[in-house]
Amino acid sequence: MENLPLTVGLSLVFLIVLVGPFLNKTIEGNLEAFLFVMGLISATVSAVWSYELVHEGLVAPISITLAVLGAGLFFHFLRRQIEAAMDALLVRVPLALVILIVVFLLGISSSVISAIIASLILVEFVSVMRLHRKAEVNLTIIACFAIGLGAALTPLGEPLATIAVSKLSGAPYYASSTYLIELLALYIVPAVFVIGIVGMFLVRRKDDDTGSSLEAEKEDEKILEVFLRAAKVYVFVLALIFLGAGFKPLVDTYFSQVHYLALFWVNIVSAILDNATLTAAEIGPSMDTVQIKAALLGLLIAGGMLIPGNIPNIISANKLKITSSEWARLGVPLGLAIMAVTWVLMILGVV
């Protein structure tokens, strides 16, 4: 990049975006507004404002916002029936099979109902399980890995997918709503199934268990909260589109030059930083398909390792009162194991 002031300015914005929410609780609690402001700043610094950008920013978030709103309303009005169905399932089906079915279905369906709604369903499911605390914590973490991966298959699933498709919608990829399915489904669907199998072994009842179990807050979610959550998703995605457009010079100059294997491991920072934000900063049409695939897989896998890395983690840990240390005990080794296997498969050319 020949323009040094532009490089310095965007690098400073990039640094603030990455560390701000991690270091400041006020920023973390108002992430949508913070990212919106930083998106405006980055687009202004890069001088990329245009009618097309504003139009894309206003239109692109609509699909995922409507999906979150519709699924939220569905869950709001049918919560009791969903709880009853979960109870009936637990009575009739062996626990190990229930774990596999629930983890796999939540992981895959999250691409349609959104990671947010899948997480809320997970919380209700864990609450009716009445297992010992360690088993329920393990189940929550494993299911959040599956949800985080599965939700990336369509732009309806999570902001990361929406942003990736938006940033690759032009030449040379012309990404449509099926782009991520075509790019990642062969890797994500088997991974979600394997994660479900892992859950069968890590989530078990103890005959002598007398410990406590997790229990989510039982207050019914107010209808206003459903609409507010959808509005926050809209602003979040809008902000990331502006942010991604502003960071395009950095992506074209630096990230597009990074070897795909290195890019995969660099994205382990997604464990502590929101992976949708990193997608906005990293992904661009100047990258080749192998780089895009490696970057997204690194972001998706590492995003499950710690609570701040992904939306499902944050929702589930907050509602079920899971601590950071509890999450890290399983999340970090499981995430590293999945990343190591994926890395070997990439070297062998399987991924």
Angle between helix 115-129 and 133-150 (nearest 10)? 160
Residues 216 and 122 sit within 8 Å (Cβ to Cβ): no
Distance CA 213, CA 127 (A): 8
Q: Find, among 251, 237, 330, the residue nearest to 287 by Cα.
A: 251
Structure tokens at 33: 């507004």
Radius of gyration of the chain (CA): 20
Give the per-residue pLDDT at 84. 82
Per-residue model confidence (pLDDT) at position 120: 86
Which residues, in sequence order, are CB contacts of 68 under 8 Å at separation 6+? 114, 116, 117, 229, 230, 233
Token pair for 280 = 């906005």
How far is CA 167 from each of CA 26, 53, 97, rounded to the nearest angstrom?
A: 29, 11, 39
Question: Could you tell me the pTM of the whole model?
Answer: 0.80
- Does the CA dihedral 181-283-298-304 come out positive or negative? negative
Q: At 216, list the tokens.
A: 């989510």
* Rounded distance between C-alpha atoms, residue 174 and residue 167, angstroms: 9
CB within 8 Å of 204: residues ≥ 6 apart: 95, 96, 135
Residue 125: partners with Cβ closer than 8 Å, 6 or more residues away:
86, 102
Written as six digits, the tokens of 113 are 């109902």
Of the candidates 275, 99, 82, 256, the residue with the CA atom closest to the CA atom of residue 168: 256
pLDDT value of residue 216: 55
Model pLDDT, residue 211: 53
Per-residue pLDDT of the chain (351 residues; tens, 9 = 90+): 457 788 888 889 888 887 787 788 888 778 788 889 998 998 999 898 999 999 988 998 898 888 888 888 887 888 788 778 877 877 888 889 999 999 999 999 999 989 988 998 898 888 877 788 899 999 999 999 999 999 999 998 999 999 999 999 999 999 999 999 999 999 999 999 999 999 999 887 765 554 566 665 556 678 898 899 889 889 888 888 888 888 888 777 777 788 999 999 988 988 877 788 888 888 989 999 999 999 999 999 999 998 878 888 988 887 888 888 899 999 999 999 999 999 999 888 766
- Span 69-89, pLDDT tens digits: 888 888 788 878 877 887 787
C-alpha to C-alpha distance for 198 and 202, rounded to whole angstroms: 6
Q: What is the pLDDT of residue 93?
A: 84
> How far is it, in rounded angstroms, from Cα 97 to Cα 86?
13
